[in-house]
Structure 1
Amino acid sequence: MASPAAASPARRLASIFSSTKPRARPPKPAPEPTQAPKAPAGQSGSKPDERRESRDLNKILKVIFRERDPDKLVSRFIAESTASERFRDKHRVYEVAVFRLVSFGRHDAIAAIIDSQKPFIEASNVGFAARLIRLCGRASMPSHAAAIFHDLPPKHKSHMTFNALLAAYVDASDFDALATAFQHILASHPTIVPTVYSYNILISALCQKPDLSAALDVITLMEKRGLTPDIISFKTLLNGFYNNDRFDDAEKVWDMIKERNVVPDAKIYYNAKLRGLVSQGRVEDAVALIERMQKEGPKPDSVSYNELIRGYCKEGRLNEAKKVYDDLIKNECTPNSGTFHTLVPHFLEAGELDRALSCCHEIFSRKCRVQCSLLQGVVTALIADQGWRRLGGSFILEGRTTILENV
């Protein structure tokens, strides 16, 4: 029988999990009247059919979401997507299927799913083609994304699919191929007109190279083509220079920002500098910058505090990181997914299970979106701990969240 001391934390954990709302279920259709009114002449009773089709589709989606056998997942997915246009409109099921197959290391299965959708591209809108390209990038299959783009019908070769291909290269961290594709595709497809978003992706890729001058040249190129760089353009440059310890060049970028009156909030500049200082291991300089912001403005926000928390955690100074978290709350900032993704793993590593559990409570109470793996790590650590092992069954049965799957 569990001791009272052990039962208390178990009840706390159970209360957190049991307070989590179950996954949303489609509302039950209202019961049909005993005698349905007759449809007017020339109209068929389509609404009951639509409701029935919707119920059937929801059942199919649930089956696919719960499928853990990769081969069955692929065969069911292909069969249903081939049979139903409404199925092909469900973005989420595509993402779940691909991400799950990535976790199994089944790139062959992902290719099978993507290739099975090619016959529907011609009759679909450009968004469907862009979605397939992005999924390839998220599965680290940039060559597959490029093949889809090059095989697209002319009507679908637009800035939307072009941007999707660039983003796919970024997702796969293939920055050299991105820079090459940017140049060659625009040269061979003059009807594709890049947008500010296109150039921002290019800047992000060039900031991964040792020589950042090419990234800075993109600003000039954009302006020559009649486009106005936005805050994302300059923010990406600032992060690139700061992360490469080129603080003097970052100051020049900041001068460009002020000349163009682009930045409405100086926090973007300070947070980029904080990120650079932390990346270079200059935590004390980051602390000084936070103190300067507190005295002179702009006031630090959640991003500012998250960078300092990350710096302390990198150096193993967990007590200081906890104090910064307390300051974040005290100064009426809101902890976000970045806060918890930094702190929780370090709490687990240090064996501070109560603090990790407290973070879980904050995540749920604030309805903060985090990766399931983060919460799963807390559950696994609690079960592995001797004080919780005896009580494992009681709170596993009470759990109603995806973090308890496969425990």
Structure 2
Amino acid sequence: MSILSRFRHAQRHYSTVLSPNSSTPLTSKQKSQKALHLLKTETNPERILEICRAASLTPLSFMDRRAFSLAISKLSAANHFDGIRQYLDELKSRPDLANDHRFLSHAIVLYGQAKMLDHAIRTFDTDLKSPRSVKSLNSLLLASLLAKNYKEVSRIYLEFPKIYSIKPDVDTYNVVIKAFAESGSSSSLYSVLDEMDRNSVKPNTTTLNNSIEGFYRERKLEEVGKFLKLMEERYRLLPALSTYNVRIQGLCKLKRSSEAKALVEGMLSSGEKINALSYSILIRGFCVEGNTVEAMNLFREMKKKGYPPDAECYFTLVYFLCQGGDFESALKVARECMKKDWFPNFTTMKSLVNGLVGVSKVDDAKEVIKQMKEKFSEKSDMWDEVEAGLPQ
């Protein structure tokens, strides 16, 4: 039996995994959607692999790439590295993917995500055909970054362009700068800038963002201002909204949310725009610092100004309001997000239920349980146990 025939036979075998109760074949898009949906809740490694095989995922689709990434994350968390290796080897033998440069570059990144960097390097060395592109080099650098192997990032950056006659581009340098930022070596990024100048590669917003993220990580706040000035004077590169959000995030992580708020106020007064993410970062920052009053003020402000909060923003507020003992506000926020069909996790909602009982709002607690059981019928037993402990 040929490779193609074996592949088609396997597809027929796994077809029922995605739609066990349907006799109608799924389209490629429907397979991808179904696979992503199933992977979000699946924890069994073998079942995860079955779902991936059934969907016949490719790197050409954004949704497939999301499914790939989610599957690899779950398999890696389960220490199912043999399964990852076997599955990616299977894909490398598929007729439509065997010599697909895009797929192989994506496989390199997936190996890095699973911290299987030796396999990523082997794929780059052995499976990719010459000449290797700068995109494949960037994939290998990204794999090393995802694997948190900063020494390997540096080695690949210094050696591989010479070995394989590849000219680095701005994405190459940005990954290297990101590695310096994450590894606590942000001062080294200036040497990368000098290299970019020698190779006539102009920095972009990502260069700027990765750099100042590193300065915040190392608490070099004065360096942020100096670097912003350097970028403007040398490259005429001004901060974008994403840059401001990196700055807001950096200050909030340092538990300087009041300074982050002042930065936002300064932006607004000078005509700069912010977005929902700006608010969400601030809200989480104040929550982490225990200032849920300010977080709620910002939450109301963002909605008033037309910036719709996302699910994560709601979940953050419900969790920290419960932690702070403000169960009435937590209930109000929870109800609002559940109307949008966004439900915080079991632990958070159990905390809310117990808190409501503690402030004599048993009926509200029972209503929350009812909604959770209706939404997550598979967890009814868990909620029955919680409900059994409520005052009758």
User: TM-score if structure 1 supplies the norm length?
Assistant: 0.69
Once the two structures are superposed, residues 160-208 of structure 1 have per-residue CA deviations (whole angstroms, 9 ceiling, x without a partner) of: 2222222222223222221222222212111x33221121111111112
Once the two structures are superposed, residues 330-375 of structure 1 have per-residue CA deviations (whole angstroms, 9 ceiling, x without a partner) of: 333333466346434323433555645654565577799xxx8x54
CA RMSD in angstroms, aligned pairs only:
4.2
Please say if residues 276 and 309 of structure 2, whose CA atoms lie closer than 8 Å, have aligned partners that are also in contact.
yes
How many residues get paired? Answer: 352
The 1:108/1:403 distance shift into structure 2, 3 A limit, reads farther
Q: Distance in 2 between matches of 1:109 and 1:389?
A: 43
Once the two structures are superposed, residues 137-169 of structure 1 have per-residue CA deviations (whole angstroms, 9 ceiling, x without a partner) of: 233333332232222232473222222222222
Q: What is residue 132 of structure 2 aligned with on the other side? A: 157
Please say if residues 129 and 156 of structure 1, whose CA atoms lie closer than 8 Å, have aligned partners that are also in contact.
no
The 1:382/1:308 distance shift into structure 2, 3 A limit, reads closer
Q: What is residue 205 of structure 1 aligned with on the other side? A: 179
Query: What are structure 1's unaligned runs of at least 5 residues?
Result: 1-23, 30-50
Residue 229 (structure 1) aligned with residue 203 (structure 2): yes
The CA deviation at 1:235 is: 1.8
Residue 325 (structure 1) aligned with residue 277 (structure 2): no
Q: What is residue 82 of structure 2 aligned with on the other side? A: 108
Superposed, 1:2-401 pairs within 5 Å as 52=25, 54=27, 58=31, 65=39, 68-74=43-49, 76=50, 90-120=64-94, 123-155=98-130, 157-190=132-165, 192-259=166-233, 260-263=235-238, 265=240, 267-268=241-242, 270-336=244-310, 339-340=313-314, 342-352=316-326, 355-356=329-330, 358-359=332-333, 375-381=345-351, 387=362, 394-395=370-371, 398-399=374-375
Give 3-state SS (helix, strand or coil) of 1:207's partner: helix
Give 3-state SS (helix, strand or coil) of 1:154's partner: coil
Amino acid at match of 1:179: S
The 1:348/1:180 distance shift into structure 2, 3 A limit, reads farther
Please say if residues 357 and 378 of structure 1, whose CA atoms lie closer than 8 Å, have aligned partners that are also in contact.
no
Query: What are structure 2's unaligned runs of at least 5 residues?
Result: 1-17, 384-392
The CA deviation at 1:67 is: 5.8
Please say if residues 243 and 275 of structure 1, whose CA atoms lie closer than 8 Å, have aligned partners that are also in contact.
no
Q: Distance in 2 between matches of 1:255 and 1:402?
A: 55
Q: Distance in 1 between matches of 2:325 and 2:65?
A: 39
- Give percent identity, aligned residues only: 22
Please say if residues 203 and 215 of structure 1, whose CA atoms lie closer than 8 Å, have aligned partners that are also in contact.
yes
The CA deviation at 1:245 is: 2.4
Once the two structures are superposed, residues 24-59 of structure 1 have per-residue CA deviations (whole angstroms, 9 ceiling, x without a partner) of: 99xx99xxxxxxxxxxxxxxxxxxxxx85749x949
Q: What is residue 46 of structure 1 aligned with on the other side? A: none
User: TM-score if structure 2 supplies the norm length?
Assistant: 0.72
The CA deviation at 1:242 is: 2.9
Q: Distance in 1 between matches of 2:194 and 2:264?
A: 33
Please say if residues 303 and 309 of structure 2, whose CA atoms lie closer than 8 Å, have aligned partners that are also in contact.
yes
